[in-house]
Amino acid sequence: MDTIAILDFGGQYCHLILRRILDFGVHAEVLPSNTRKEDLKKISGLKGIILSGSAASVYDNDSPKCDKEILNIGVPVLGICYGHQLIAYLENGEVKSGNAGEYGVTELRTIGQSGLLQGLSKTEKIWMNHKDIVTKLPQDYSVVAVTDKSPIAVFENQKKKQYGVQFHPEVTHTENGNRILENFIFNVCNAKKELMISNIIENISDEIRKKIGNRKAIIALSGGVDSSTTAILVSRIIGEKLTAVYVDTGLMRHKETEFMEQEFSKHNLNLKIINAADRFFSALKNITEPEEKRKIIGKLFIDIFDEIAQQEKAGVLIQGTIYSDRIESGITPNSSVIKSHHNVGGLPEKMNLEVYEPLRDLYKNEVRSIAKNLGLSENIINRHVFPGPGLAIRIIGEVTPEKAEIVRKAGYIIEEELRNANLYNKVWMAFAVLLPIKSVGIQGDARSYKYPIVVRIIESKDAMTANFSKIPYEILEKISTRITNEINEVNRVVYDISNKPPATMEWE
């Protein structure tokens, strides 16, 4: 098949580039940044190369680089963000640290003609996430577009078919980013559509057969769409050899255990419900640092799974880990650790169980498509994302049962009011965060001194980027009024208007 090679320099969005190309129906592969020219030339049907972003600077001694000769293979090359800077650097241009970084939505202005930007307007909204900029072009390259802070935001060498974009076309916040990638894939590289998204289920099923074979396995079932989809996929292949384990940590959503019992009684799953709230609260006592919380929770989950595995004589632990979990945990070469997801970076180094993650290369929107194909209920498919560590990372500071109940009630109120307003399915996730401070208020004509609650409601498609949701003020007012009226420990509600980046979705 025609193939696009993506060199991974450690950027958060590298795998998102892959997903976009696969969604176009074109085969693509992510390869290490140091892949040699000779190895790239061996790829059958190689039509183009994309250089991903990175948290590094091209002038850092230890920054990831690629062989300059890959620019002379004879196929088109597109550099994105760090890749854009790297092409300029390798071709003897200049890259410098800008006076101010560009983060978030920016306006791109086209000043030249390029097939890469075919069909786009003279001005476009794009997504920036960088500090360094290209300040001088290599010979035979020309400027195609600029922004206020990037005098060379898009460049090209038309003869060599080499292009650089300082922004991220692969993220949804670049409004016509897919058009740019399509222009490169189809018009510049002349690649053909030869993939069908339906092949994903077949490929994963084949891998499950090979990976697990006749062994027994347990799956960590949280009730979210990722683990639920994984459970149904695996159970279809190994049947009764799979035991699904749901652990009630005391840090779950409102009436979550009842939901799990009702929902999964519809499926032929051997479901075990473990009540472990006391163990989790005891382990988290006096712990305030977010990464420490995550690692403690990850280890305790594994301890419990080990216990169940011994009872069931299982040797494999299956998890519903998806790609955004892995990249934020710094699991790929050259990537930064943003936060250790309990099922990835939070796992202990030594484990008795073999960990297997069938959905590890997928994004949330793809998992939801698979879930629909498998016949999971809308209650599962359209559930808002809930973090593996649960409410522990929505309580800033020490975690206690009392604080967990506060943030659980507040989260339920937020979701209920969004459902009442027919907004629940229009946002990615909505939740409450409990702060470790108190403020003065007036309730019942008397002074109060209580906790504030942060309301966080965000919109996203792939979890790699997100915007805060512009919820109507009257809905926010209903949420605020209910929280302060119904939760005795709270007297103030604030709304988080931060996007990702610079913020993350969760506070911890």
Token output for 26: 């074109």
| CATH of region 199-381, choose from 3.40.50.720, 3.40.50.620, 3.30.1950.10, 3.40.50.300 | 3.40.50.620
Contact 24, 182 (CB under 8 A): yes
Quote the pLDDT of residue 1: 81
Cβ neighbours of residue 218 closer than 8 Å, sequence gap 6 or more = 242, 243, 244, 245, 305, 308, 309, 312, 314, 316, 317, 318, 353
How far apart are the C-alpha atoms of 429 and 386, rounded to whole Å? 8
Q: Rounded to the nearest 5 degrees, what angle is found at the Cα of 284, between the Cα atoms of 278 and 285?
A: 90
Out of 3.30.70.270, 3.90.470.10, 3.40.50.1820, 3.30.300.10, the CATH code matching 400-495 is 3.30.300.10
Domain 3-188 is found in CATH 3.40.190.10: no
Of residues 14, 66, 81, 189, which has the active-site annotation? 81
Q: What is the CA radius of gyration of the chain?
A: 24
| pLDDT attached to residue 350 | 66
Instruction: Give the pLDDT score at 166.
Output: 94
Q: List per-residue pLDDT tens for the chain, 508 residues long.
A: 899 999 999 887 888 899 899 889 898 989 999 999 999 999 989 999 999 999 888 888 888 999 899 999 999 999 999 999 999 999 999 998 866 667 778 999 999 999 999 999 999 999 887 778 899 999 999 999 999 889 999 999 999 999 999 999 999 889 999 999 999 999 999 999 987 757 788 989 999 999 999 999 999 999 999 999 999 999 999 999 999 999 999 999 999 999 999 999 888 888 999 999 999 999 999 999 999 999 999 899 999 999 999 999 999 999 999 877 766 544 455 545 444 444 444 455 667 789 999 998 887 878 888 999 898 999 999 899 899 899 999 999 999 999 999 999 999 999 999 999 999 999 999 999 999 999 999 988 889 999 999 999 999 877 778 899 999 999 999 999 999 999 999 999 999 999 988 899 999 9
**What is the per-residue pLDDT for 458?**
97
- DSSP letter string, 140-173: T-EEEEE-SS-TTSEEEETTTTEEEESS-TTSTT
Please identify which of the residues 124, 156, 170, 328 carries the catalytic annotation.
Answer: 170
Per the annotation, the verdict on 170 as an active-site residue is yes
Domain ranges of the chain: 3-188, 199-381, 400-495
The model's pTM = 0.68
Residue ranges in 316-400 assigned as alpha helix (H): 323-328, 364-374, 378-381
Shared fold status for 3-188 and 199-381: yes
pLDDT of residue 100: 61
| DSSP class per residue in 429-446 | EEEEEE-S--EEEEETTE
Let me know if 267 is a catalytic residue.
no
The Cα–Cα gap between 237 and 213 comes to 9
Copy the structure tokens of residue 286. 């006096």
Which member of 15, 27, 84, 168 is catalytic? 168
